[in-house]
Amino acid sequence: MAIAPLTAIGGDLEIGRTGADNHPTAFIQPLTHIDVLSELTTVGGSLGLADSIQTLAPLINLQSVGGDLNVSHTLALTSLDGLDNLTSIGGALEIIDNLALTDINGLSHVTAIGGRIRIGQLMQGGNPSLTNLDGLATFVAATGTIAGRLDITENDGLTSIAGLSGIHTIEGRLFLRSNDALISLSGLDGLGQVGGDTFVIIFNDQVPTCDAASLFSTITPFYGDVCIRDNEADSCADNSSGCSNENLI
């Protein structure tokens, strides 16, 4: 029996298993019934995209997600194309452990994100094929503020975060760790406020230590823990005063 296309889901929706410990309102196997979402415009709760999903094209009419948007643990998803009409994410944006994902330009019409932004996660995995964050440029231009923490972790192919240019406030922590190809912090040049309790830039092999130190010098006032170490060595010293284990994860 054919399933009628859905136009709205009031709660959470998972397409593939995200691994989150929750009970979604709707669960769809990505390779079988995703086409029933071709008329979907609204997810009232969180949207999880994971597992064997290969394309987001059937989500082309989606305009808003009331909770988190989580894209994680995919093997063949190469882009977020299909989310081109999405403008609002009420909660967090999490993009974690997507082996083939090369860009997030499908988010280029998003103007509101209500929570943290997490690109990669320690122990869960990064996005090794992702090269830039240009898909966030429209959001940054609209708000200039991340309403939570910013984590960019274990993205081996990430060479640029210039898509964040214009960010002036991060309301949570700043955490950049183990982005082996990143050569510059350009994109965070205008940052003036970090509201969380940690400022961490570590194990980014090609980011000059002086760049990290210079960025921190623009954050005033800052009352939390600072950990800048094991980046590209140069004339600037590490700042390891806040490098306790709980601040490194």
Q: In this model, does residue 1 exceed pLDDT 50?
A: no
**Neighbouring C-beta atoms of residue 21, cutoff 10 Å:** 5
**pLDDT by residue (tens digit) across 91-123?**
999 999 999 999 999 999 999 999 999 999 988
Distance (Å, whole) CA 143 – CA 167: 8
Above 60 in pLDDT, residue 139? Answer: yes
pLDDT band of residue 179 (cuts 50, 70, 90) is: very high
**Residues pairing with 159 in the sheet:** none
Q: What is the pLDDT of residues 25-84, one digit of tens each?
A: 555 555 556 778 999 999 999 999 998 899 999 999 999 999 999 999 999 999 999 999
Domains assigned to the chain = 8-239 (3.80.10.10)
Report field, pTM of the whole predicted structure over 0.85: yes
Residue 249, SS3 per DSSP:
coil
Render pLDDT for 203-245 as a digit per residue (tens, 0 to 9).
Answer: 999 999 999 999 999 998 999 999 999 999 999 999 998 998 8
Tell me if residue 126 falls in helix, strand or coil: coil
Give the per-residue pLDDT at 4.
72
Helix (H/G/I), strand (E/B), else coil: 59: helix
Structure-token pair, residue 31: 């390779």
